[in-house]
């Protein structure tokens, strides 16, 4: 099993950080690698959505929002490939006038995938840091 964990501090109120980062329809703006982020259904705190990358790869995921406890969990659903499984957890910790946002991912690559766990772990760590910096800048500048 591979694991990534990355954090960033965003100088903005918790409600704003949580709401912006969990607005799936904005993910094509927040994340550079997505050309489309479409909500398929909402059932209570569960959101099922489809992401499409700039290269045209799409998959469905579901996300549970728990704003009161400052956590979101998600999992990739269909298609699973190139993963055997992919689980995500985002946590938010209020700190004076800012919020520390932490993203964790646990996954295992399918043995038939082009890249192994260690290679994808390295790639996810790089993309997570880049995306977190982008989101921080967008929120702090008031662009979102």
Question: 12, 140 in Cβ contact below 8 A?
Answer: yes
Q: What is the pLDDT of residue 64?
A: 98
Tell me, yes or no, if the pTM score tops 0.75: yes
Beta bridge partners of 85: 108
Whole-angstrom Cα distance, residue 27 to residue 117? 25
Q: What is the pLDDT of residues 34-66, one digit of tens each?
A: 999 999 999 999 999 999 999 999 999 999 999
Domains parsed from the chain with CATH numbers: 2-24+68-141 (3.30.530.20)
Average per-residue pLDDT for the chain = 97
């Amino acid at each position: 099993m591979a694991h990534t964990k990355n954090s960033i501090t965003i100088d903005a109120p918790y409600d704003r950080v949580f709401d912006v980062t969990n607005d799936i329809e904005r993910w094509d703006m927040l994340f550079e690698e997505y050309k489309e982020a479409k909500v398929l259904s909402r059932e209570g705190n569960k959101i099922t959505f489809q992401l499409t990358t700039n290269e045209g790869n799409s998959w469905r995921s579901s996300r549970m929002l728990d704003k009161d406890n400052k956590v979101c969990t998600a999992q990739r659903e269909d298609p699973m490939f190139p993963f055997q499984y992919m689980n995500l957890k985002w946590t938010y910790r209020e700190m004076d006038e800012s919020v520390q946002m932490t993203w964790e991912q646990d996954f295992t690559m399918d043995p038939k995938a082009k890249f192994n766990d260690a290679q994808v772990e390295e790639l996810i760590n790089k993309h997570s840091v880049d995306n977190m910096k982008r989101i921080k800048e967008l929120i702090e500048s008031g662009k979102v």
